C-alpha cells in the first residue's frame, strides 16, 4: 500500500491534469447554463398522466414543477448516462467563485500543496448549502414550534435539524437555488434513507432512461409526506419510496388566486 506524505492511499489520489480535465467538463455545463425549469399551471401534475403530458412537451433534461394549496410536484426526464451531469464537489467550487484555471490551481494548492497528485480541490464547508438555507421555498419549517420528540422517524442526530433540500438531485440539474425545487425536510431522513435511494436511482440512470418524480403533501395531522416515484421511458413504474416527516411543523405557502385554481376545479 502506497501512502503519500499526507497519509493518503494512492488509490485515493488523482493527478492535477485529470482533476482539471474533470473541472473543465463540469465548467462547460456551468457556462452553458442551468437546467431549464418550467412551472406548470394549466393542468394538474398530481398523477403520472399529467407529468407525462408536461414532460413530452419539453426537451429531455428539463425540469417541471407545480405548487398548489394541496400538493407540490417536481419531475424530470433523465436520458441514459445523464444522471451525474454535475458534481457536488465542483458545484461547491463554483459557489466559491472558482471558475478559471488560475483559481482552480489555487484551490488545488490550498488542498494538496505544490504536488502533482492529490485529492480533488475543496473549499471549507459548503457555500451552496449555506446559501440554500436563505433561498425562497413554498414549504418551510415553522421555527417557532419545537421538535416533536415522539416522532415516528426511525433515526435521529444528537441534535436534529431541518434541511433545505432538493426535490431533484442537484447532480442532475446543477441547480442549487430554485423555489420550485427546494423545500424544508427532516435532516436525518435527507442524509440517510433518502440520500441512499437517490444514489441508487442515479446509478440506475447510468444504464437506462429514468423519469424522476417527487410529490409532496401534508396529511390531516399536518405531517409532511415526500414520495419518490421513478418510471422508465414508457412511464412504467420501476421504483417508489415514501417518507413521513412528523418531527417538525411546516408552513405551506401558496399564491392565493393563482396556485389554488387547479384544486378549486376538482
- What does the pLDDT profile of the chain (266 residues) look like in tens digits? 444 545 555 567 889 999 998 888 778 766 665 689 999 999 999 999 999 999 999 999 999 999 999 999 999 999 999 887 777 777 778 777 888 899 999 999 999 999 999 998 887 655 444 444 555 799 999 999 999 999 999 999 999 999 999 999 988 887 767 899 999 999 999 999 999 999 999 999 999 999 999 999 999 999 999 999 999 999 999 999 999 999 999 999 999 988 999 998 65
pTM of this structure = 0.80
Q: How many helices (DSSP H) and strands (DSSP E) are in the chain?
A: 9, 12
Q: How far is CA 22 from CA 11, 28, 80, 90, 226, in A?
A: 17, 10, 20, 9, 33
Residue 232 CA to residue 208 CA, distance in Å, equals: 8
Domain ranges in the chain? 38-86+126-265
Instruction: End-to-end CA distance of the chain: give it in Å, rounded.
Output: 65
Q: Find where cell 418550467 sits.
A: 38
**pLDDT value at position 32?**
62
DSSP run (H or E) holding 39 = strand 37-39
Residue 89 CA to residue 98 CA, distance in Å, equals: 11
Amino acid at each position: 500500500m502506497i501512502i503519500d506524505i499526507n497519509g493518503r492511499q494512492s488509490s485515493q489520489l488523482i493527478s492535477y491534469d485529470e482533476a482539471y480535465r474533470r473541472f473543465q467538463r463540469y465548467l462547460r455545463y456551468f457556462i452553458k447554463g442551468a437546467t431549464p425549469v418550467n412551472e406548470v399551471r394549466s393542468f394538474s401534475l398530481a398523477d403520472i398522466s399529467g407529468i407525462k403530458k408536461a414532460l413530452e412537451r419539453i426537451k429531455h433534461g428539463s425540469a417541471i414543477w407545480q405548487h398548489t394549496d394541496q400538493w407540490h410536484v417536481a419531475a424530470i426526464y433523465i436520458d441514459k448516462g445523464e444522471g451525474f451531469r454535475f458534481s457536488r464537489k465542483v458545484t461547491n467550487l463554483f459557489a466559491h467563485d472558482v471558475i478559471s484555471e488560475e483559481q482552480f490551481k489555487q484551490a488545488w494548492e490550498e488542498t494538496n500543496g505544490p504536488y502533482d497528485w492529490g485529492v480533488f480541490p475543496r473549499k471549507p464547508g459548503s457555500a451552496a448549502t449555506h446559501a440554500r438555507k436563505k433561498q425562497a421555498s413554498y414549504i418551510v419549517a415553522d421555527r417557532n414550534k419545537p421538535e416533536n420528540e415522539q416522532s415516528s422517524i426511525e433515526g435521529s442526530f444528537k441534535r436534529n435539524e431541518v434541511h433545505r433540500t432538493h426535490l431533484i438531485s442537484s447532480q442532475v440539474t446543477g441547480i442549487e437555488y430554485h423555489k420550485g425545487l427546494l423545500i424544508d425536510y427532516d435532516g436525518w431522513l435527507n442524509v440517510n434513507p433518502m440520500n441512499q435511494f437517490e444514489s441508487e436511482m442515479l446509478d440506475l440512470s447510468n444504464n437506462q432512461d429514468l423519469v424522476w418524480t417527487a410529490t409532496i403533501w401534508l396529511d390531516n395531522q399536518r405531517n409532511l409526506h415526500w414520495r419518490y416515484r421513478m418510471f422508465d421511458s414508457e412511464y412504467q413504474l420501476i421504483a417508489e419510496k415514501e417518507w413521513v416527516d412528523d418531527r417538525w411543523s411546516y408552513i405551506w405557502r401558496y399564491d392565493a388566486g393563482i396556485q389554488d385554481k387547479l384544486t378549486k376545479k376538482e
